[in-house]
Amino acid sequence: MSNDQKLSTALIDEEATRSDVLSQVERQVILLVRRTQKVHLHGRGPDGGRPLERSGYAILGLIYDRGPQRPGELASYFRLYASTISRQVAHLERAGLATRVPDPEDRRACRMTLTAAGEESLVATRARRREAVRGILGSWPSKDQEDFARLLGKFNRDMAELEDATPAPPGSTTAETAPRPPRRGVRIQ
């Protein structure tokens, strides 16, 4: 076999290995997402312990982290249609986890804020989720934990950049006219 043929074979093998690795990563991401699809709220709130869709959990987390948000800001941040956010927010209100308050900057508008039960449930859920992660990673060497956190953070940042480069859905509230809020560090929620 000539050197050119050997090099060609090595490149093909390397590409096949890379393709296999990417396939493995893609499968693992699917499994991770599937396993974290449902979030169970904990605490004494009216919805404590009942399943909450991940979108509701994400909305509660954003409001908790950033303070009261207009529904349009939520739609823009999550790149969703206003009608989708309206349904999700209505569900959180019915569950007693969030409520509307007047917007101090514009009395015609409202902002979503957490109720005491919503905050209690979110804080308790985050604590339990973090404890579960500690339990999973606890037997890993510190270096592996650090590498995993670093690489998962890098993966999520790159995914966010890809998402930011993708046009928002037509008709989504303020997504076409206002920039998305800046992304902050990846947090385990």
State the pTM of this model: 0.69
Q: Say whether 173 sits in a helix, a strand or coil.
A: coil
Q: Are 180 and 75 in contact (CB under 8 A)?
A: no
Report pLDDT for 149.
Answer: 94
Report pLDDT for 101.
Answer: 96
Report pLDDT for 58.
Answer: 92
Better pLDDT: 104 or 163: 104
> Would you place residue 139 in the very low, low, confident or very high pLDDT band (cuts 50, 70, 90)?
very high
Report pLDDT for 10.
Answer: 58
Query: Mean pLDDT across the stretch 176-185?
Result: 44
Enumerate residues 6+ apart whose C-beta is below 8 A from 28: none
The tens digit of pLDDT for each residue in 73-113 reads: 999 888 889 999 999 999 999 999 999 999 998 888 999 99
Q: Give the C-alpha separation, 80 to 181, whole Å.
A: 14
Q: Which residue has the tokens 């941040």?
A: 77
Tell whether the model's pLDDT for residue 2 goes beyond 80: no
Better pLDDT: 160 or 13: 160
Q: Which residue has the tokens 């019915």?
A: 94
Q: Which residue has the tokens 């987390």?
A: 61
Better pLDDT: 12 or 89: 89
Better pLDDT: 17 or 58: 58
Structure tokens that stand for 174 in this block: 């303020």
Structure tokens that stand for 108 in this block: 């015609």
Mean pLDDT of the chain: 80
The tens digit of pLDDT for each residue in 26-58 reads: 888 888 887 777 667 666 545 555 667 778 889
Query: Mean pLDDT across the stretch 140-164?
Result: 92
Q: Give the C-alpha separation, 173 to 163, whole Å.
A: 17
Q: Are 58 and 78 in contact (CB under 8 A)?
A: yes
Report pLDDT for 70.
Answer: 95
Which residue from 34, 30, 41, 33 is spatially nearest to 126, judged by alpha carbons?
A: 41
pLDDT above 70 covers a percentage of the chain that reads 72
Enumerate residues 6+ apart whose C-beta is below 8 A from 129: 39, 188, 189
